[in-house]
């Protein structure tokens, strides 16, 4: 009787051993999906599953973990530098018209209005680019969208360089704007999606930094190059971007949304370094994809749902306020403003503004992940409001005292106008310049990021067009009044940030998305 009893005991032990991993696996699944009652309907179960996934994401610490400190971000930096080549090209073409205006007018016999039309077409093209940028980014991926954006910029640059009449000049300017409109949305999204959370703000600021560098390069190049050679030089950033796109990885979050797990893991491992454990980050991305699957397909009307009110208001509102703070009007007409303010060397002062913008944008990049987005925005808006008021006050003093003021007062007014404009540019570059682009790349949920980002970018470029179109008229009507209007807008921007803009520092994109659900 002993042998049969021993065999039965061994079989029971084997069955217990086999059941242990299955029980462990069931326990892991139960932490992901909550138990459901027989009476629970499918929509209720889906809602329960989604809530569990979101709670897991929200519950993660905002502080950098020891594991995250081991990240080797070499490829993140290389990828960021490659991506911002597109926005550097946009900045170059924004600044291109300033140093070559007289050369083009003389060479092609253009009138002032014809040249003004040439200058404004970049914003019209950018509006078109912003409309299609989200769809292209969703369909072709972030790398594919950047590649598509480079093509019209290169073609447009070539048309301008070889133009013998107005038509190719106009078409070329429009095409450079179209490519610029695409990169102005896709590049910050790509950077936000590849960067670890403790570097996302700093690297996201590189877009605005590249734009300012492009403007300065256009100003400097105009001192030494003919307008045709300068236009040809505008293709160089895009060619560098082309080369870089062949080696940098695709956005892991876009790959996750397309359920390309092997490519997702390969791209994320390359971006985080060979020794970094990417499994928690991969899991977090996959959980958000699973939560998104439980929702219906996104439509344009979904942007106006209650759940998206806060991120849409924050993203679109900041883009609107960035432009109506007057930055493009000031930069486009800087020489005229300085001349009206009595400053003799207006071109040198304009170049000083552009260089200051580069320096302060770089400073903002260093502060973005330390001070946070909200603080930088409020400090920036406050500084811009005060400086705009003082610029307007300097014009007011010059008009009131135009017939009777001493040489000492004249010098004081000149210094007040110049110093206030420098503070204005510094304050803008510290917050309201780079932060709105970082915010729109962070706050929109992945499912609607393309269409929501396109809308925000369209608002930015259409607002820029309106400001540049009307600034000269308002400035001629009342120089002081135009800057006092900008001052009021900046005050409103501070209030808007305090009430409606969330702090995203130290949070993953998945945590930010979960906080709005």
Identify whether the C-beta of residue 181 lies closer than 8 Å to the C-beta of residue 128.
yes
Q: How large is the C-alpha radius of gyration of the chain?
A: 27
Residues of the chain with confidence (pLDDT) below 50: 1-39, 46, 49-50, 53, 58-59, 61
**CA-CA-CA-CA dihedral for 484, 354, 338, 225, to nearest 10:** -150
Question: Quick one: pLDDT at residue 246?
Answer: 93
| Cβ neighbours for 146, distance < 8 A, ≥ 6 positions apart | 83, 86, 182, 183, 186, 187, 190, 241, 245
**CA-CA-CA-CA dihedral for 197, 507, 67, 65, to nearest 10:** 130
Query: 280 is written with which tokens?
Result: 């928690």
Question: Quick one: pLDDT at residue 514?
Answer: 78
**CA–CA separation, 512 and 501 (whole Å):** 12
Question: Quick one: pLDDT at residue 22?
Answer: 41
CA-wise closest residue to 354 among 330, 376, 370: 330
Question: Quick one: pLDDT at residue 15?
Answer: 45
Query: 92 is written with which tokens?
Result: 């170059």
Question: Quick one: pLDDT at residue 477?
Answer: 85
Identify whether the C-beta of residue 275 lies closer than 8 Å to the C-beta of residue 70.
yes
Query: 43 is written with which tokens?
Result: 């929509």
Other beta carbons less than 10 A from residue 410's beta carbon: 14
For 268, 335, 384, 397, 422, the CA distances from 340, given in Å and listed in that order, are: 54, 9, 20, 13, 16
Question: Quick one: pLDDT at residue 295?
Answer: 64
Identify whether the C-beta of residue 170 lies closer than 8 Å to the C-beta of residue 117.
yes
Identify whether the C-beta of residue 99 lies closer than 8 Å to the C-beta of residue 221.
yes
Query: 109 is written with which tokens?
Result: 């016999």
Question: Quick one: pLDDT at residue 353?
Answer: 77
**CA–CA separation, 71 and 442 (whole Å):** 21
Query: 78 is written with which tokens?
Result: 């290389």
Report phi then psi at 196, rounded to 5: -65, 155
Rounded to whole angstroms, the maximal C-alpha distance in the chain is 125
Which residues in 58-72 are b (16+ Cβ under 10 Å) and which e? Answer: eeeeeeeeeebeebe
Q: Is the dihedral of CA 339, 343, 346, 349 positive or negative?
A: negative
Question: Quick one: pLDDT at residue 369?
Answer: 81
**CA–CA separation, 222 and 203 (whole Å):** 29
Question: What pTM did the predictor assign?
Answer: 0.77
| DSSP per-residue codes, 387-452 | HHHHHHHHHHHHHHTTTS--HHHHHHHHHHHHHHHHHHHHHIIIIITTHHHHHHHHHS-GGGHHHH
Question: Quick one: pLDDT at residue 294?
Answer: 67
């Amino acid at each position: 009787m002993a042998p049969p009893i021993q065999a039965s005991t061994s079989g029971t032990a084997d069955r217990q051993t086999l059941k242990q991993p299955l029980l462990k696996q069931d326990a892991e699944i139960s932490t992901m999906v909550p138990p459901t009652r027989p009476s629970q309907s499918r929509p209720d179960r889906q809602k329960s599953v989604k809530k569990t996934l979101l709670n897991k994401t929200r519950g993660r610490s905002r502080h950098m973990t020891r594991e995250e400190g081991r990240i080797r971000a070499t490829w993140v930096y290389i990828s960021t530098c490659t991506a911002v080549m597109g926005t550097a090209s946009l900045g170059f073409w924004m600044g291109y018209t300033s140093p070559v205006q007289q050369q083009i007018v003389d060479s092609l016999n253009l009138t002032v209005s014809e040249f003004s039309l040439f200058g404004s077409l970049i914003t019209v093209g950018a509006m078109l680019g912003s409309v299609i940028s989200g769809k292209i980014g969703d369909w072709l991926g972030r790398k594919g969208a950047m590649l598509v954006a480079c093509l019209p910029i290169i073609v447009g640059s070539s048309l301008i360089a070889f133009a013998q009449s107005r038509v190719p000049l106009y078409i070329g300017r429009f095409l450079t704007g179209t490519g610029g409109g695409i990169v102005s949305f896709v590049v910050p999204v790509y950077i936000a999606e590849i960067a670890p959370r403790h570097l996302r703000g700093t690297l996201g600021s590189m877009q605005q930094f590249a734009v300012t560098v492009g403007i300065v390069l256009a100003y400097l190049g105009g001192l030494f190059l003919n307008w045709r050679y300068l236009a040809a030089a505008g293709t160089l950033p895009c060619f560098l971007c082309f080369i870089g796109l062949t080696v940098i990885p695709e956005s892991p979050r876009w790959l996750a949304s397309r359920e390309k797990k092997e490519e997702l893991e390969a791209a994320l491992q390359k971006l985080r370094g060979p020794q970094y454990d990417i499994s928690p980050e991969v899991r977090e991305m996959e959980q958000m994809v699973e939560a998104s699957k439980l929702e219906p397909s996104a439509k344009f009307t979904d942007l106006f749902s209650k759940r998206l009110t806060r991120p849409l208001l924050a993203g679109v509102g900041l883009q609107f306020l960035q432009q109506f703070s007057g930055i493009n009007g000031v930069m486009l007409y800087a020489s005229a403003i300085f001349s009206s303010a009595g400053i003799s060397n207006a071109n040198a002062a304009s170049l000083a503004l552009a260089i200051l913008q580069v320096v302060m944008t770089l400073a903002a990049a260093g502060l973005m992940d330390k001070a946070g987005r909200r603080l930088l925005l409020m400090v920036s808006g406050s500084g811009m409001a005060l400086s705009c008021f003082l610029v307007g006050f300097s014009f007011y003093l010059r008009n009131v005292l135009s017939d009777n003021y001493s040489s000492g007062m004249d010098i004081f007014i000149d210094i007040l106008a110049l110093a206030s404009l420098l503070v204005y540019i510094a304050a803008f570059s510290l917050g309201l310049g780079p932060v709105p682009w970082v915010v729109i790349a962070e706050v929109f949920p992945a499912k609607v990021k393309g269409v929501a980002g396109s809308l925000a970018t369209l608002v930015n470029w259409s607002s820029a067009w309106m400001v540049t179109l009307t600034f000269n008229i308002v400035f001629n009507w009342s120089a002081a009044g135009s800057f006092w209007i900008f001052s009021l807008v900046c005050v409103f921007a501070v209030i808007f940030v305090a009430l409606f803009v969330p702090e995203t520092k130290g949070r993953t994109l998945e945590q930010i998305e979960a906080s709005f659900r």
